[in-house]
Structure formats: C-alpha cells, structure tokens
A and B are shown apart, each in its own frame.
Chain A
Amino acid sequence: MAADARSQRITEELAANAPDLLAYFERRVARDDAADLLAEVMLTVWRRADQLPGDPVRARMWLFVTARNVLANAERSERRRWRLANRLRMMLPGSSGAPAASDPGEGAEVRDAIAHLAPELAELVRLVHWDGLTLAEAAEVMEIPASTARGRYQRAKQELREALAADYASR
C-alpha cells in the first residue's frame, strides 16, 4: 500500500473510532486524562501502523486493544500531557476532578459492585455493558478465548446479582 494511501486509511480509522475510544477512557479515568490517553493511542497507532488490520472490524478491535494497553501502562507510569490533546482537554466538561466513573447518582451502587469484582471480571462487564461490545468482541479486546470470556461473564453476573441483592436487602 502506498504511503499516502496508508496514512489516509490510518487517519480515517482513527477519526471514525475516536469518539468511542474517548468514551472508553472517560468511563475509566478523569476526563482530562481521557484526552491525553486518547492522544497517546493515536501516537501509538502511528508508531505501530504496520500492525493495523486491514479489515475495519478487526482494526476497531485492535484500536480497543491498544487503548486498553495504553490505559494499563498509564496506571504504572508517569501520566503524560500531550500537546496534541490540549484543545480536546479544554472541550471536555468537568475536565478536572474525579473520574466520571466515581460520580455519585444513578448507578453508583452498581458501579461500586462492579469495582469490587476481580479486575478481569470487572473489565469484561464494563466492555459489554458500558462500551457496548459483544462478548466475543470483549474477549478479543481482552485477548482471551471466547469460551473463557463466557465463563468469566457468567461468574461476574452471578456475583453482581448476589452483591446487588445484598445491597438492596440491607436498605
């Protein structure tokens, strides 16, 4: 593929998936951090451009895998501020403060129950119910077999039912 065509395709994939990737980060970290993590995903994609799958669906999943890895790496290293994200950071409401996921209000007790699951179960639930991925897609993003994802998902749902039932019973 010619360099110009390749650049155009990468740009189009990034632009098409950027809203969902931004939402992915907004559901997990503070909004100003979400802007920088999105910028980091974009920079990472250009660095690993030769790995971008040709199929748009596979490319979208690969972008989510990249986002997940960027988030994991950010949790154990310095949080970086990218100039690329300066404008976006200012456009996001409530850019400073707590992560959106910790906001009080509707669903707070459910989010709390999710947070108390084992990390691999919690992320599976978030990918399916917050990010709108199918279970098969979530398995791909988490780089686990679909059968493993199904088992984990059933376990997560059972633990959530029990936790939420106990939560409501205690009121």
Chain B
Amino acid sequence: MNEFDPTDDLLARSAPRTTTVTPELREELTRMAVASESEQRRTGTRRRVAIGAGALAVALFAGAGAAAATGVAGWGPWAQDADAVYVYALPGGDACELRITFDDAATGQVAREILSDVDLGSVIDVDGVIAVLRAMPSSGGDEFGNTFDTGFGTEFYPSVDEEYAQAVGIAASQYLGERLTERGVAGGGQDMTWASNCATEFDGGR
C-alpha cells in the first residue's frame, strides 16, 4: 500500500460519519465501562440462561418441532426450531416463554434427549439460586468514580419477577451444563443462544 492509489482515497472518504467524541461522550463511555461489570453480574449470562421451572411451571416442550407448540411469531430464525421451549409463569402471574438453541447442533440433540424425560421443576432449585443472588455482593459505579451498593434491598436490585426469571435460567443452565458435561460435552460446546418473551418486558432493571 505504498504506492498512491486513487481508490484508497475514495475508500477512505466513503466511511460513514460517526459521532464526534466529545468530552461528554467520553465520560459516558467511561461510565459504561465501569458500570458494565456490575451490570454483567446482575443480568447473568446470556448464553447460559435456559429453561424455567418450579411450582409455577405450566408446561415443558422439548424435542423436534418444539417451537410449533407455542407459535413462532415474534421469534428470530435461530429460535424457529429451538432445542427447548419452556412456558412458565412469573410470581406476578405473567407468562413467559424461553427458547434455547445450542450453537452446536450435536449438543442441541443431546440437550433434547436430556430434556425429553426430565421434569425440570423437580430437579432444579430456583429458590436456592434466589438465595444465592440475594446474598451476592454487588456494586456499581458512576463516571465520577463513586461506587454504590446494587445488591438485594437496594433500588438497583431486580424486581421479584425479573429475579425469578433470572434464577430459573441460572438453575436450569447449571443443571443442563452438568448433564452435558457428564455426557462429554464441555466448554464452548455448551454455548447456546436464548431469548425470553414475557407478557411483561423487562428493561434490565426494576
């Protein structure tokens, strides 16, 4: 790229305009960098959330064609033939549906086999996970370097419904992870994409 090439100039000038980095914008980006640590702890792991359960669970569908059980409207292509579809109720009464698709199709098949003869409500401990979440120290920060408590009992802690959904996902993903590991599927082989549709949409906070 040492010789002058007029195409280089055209290409450089074709770059779409981006937002000017003002001191205010830089401050906000720094705030996000700081806050993202506690936010990650609060929101849990996107690729590890799965399957709901507990006394409020109303149905479990797993296996081929599972997505057809609850309809496919509103879901992206990845979820049209999900490895697991699970419908459950939040403590507040609203229904939620979670769908899980493993990145690796072979893992997805193993997960379908695991879920085909398991009553998740009887094998996962949602209340136990909630207890852990409430006991877990959590702090946040702002752009001025201040830190503050974001754990249970503060205004930053998730609502009861969100806490429940989060705990269901964690408990179930732990269960699935353990079963997959037992079957020789470990590490990145357990990566999954999940999403939840609820009657009430969470905004990530209260």
A26 and B36 contact, CB distance less than 8 A: no
Tell me, yes or no, whether A22 is within 8 Å of chain B by CB.
yes
Interface of chain A, helix or strand or loop or mixed?
A: helix
Roughly how many angstroms separate A28 CA and B81 CA in the complex, as a whole number? 28
How many inter-chain contacts with C-beta < 8 Å in the A-B complex? 132
CB distance from B141 to the nearest CB of A (A): 9
Task: Return chain A residues, CB-CB under 8 Å to B8.
Answer: 129
Contacts A77-B193, A83-B203, A157-B5; is A18 near B32 (CB within 8 Å)? yes
Contacts A77-B76, A107-B13, A135-B1; is A31 near B7 (CB within 8 Å)? no
Roughly how many angstroms separate A7 CA and B26 CA in the complex, as a whole number? 19
Q: How extensive is the interface on chain A, given as a class?
A: 35 or more
B36 and A46 contact, CB distance less than 8 A: yes
Chain A residues at the B interface, C-beta cutoff of 8 Å: 7, 10-12, 14-15, 18-19, 22-23, 26-27, 31, 38-39, 42-43, 45-47, 73, 76-78, 81-85, 87-88, 91-93, 99-101, 103, 106-108, 110-111, 114, 125, 129-130, 135, 157, 160-161, 164
Chain B residues at the A interface, C-beta cutoff of 8 Å: 1, 5, 7-8, 10-19, 21, 24-26, 28-37, 39-41, 43, 45-46, 75-79, 193, 195, 203-205
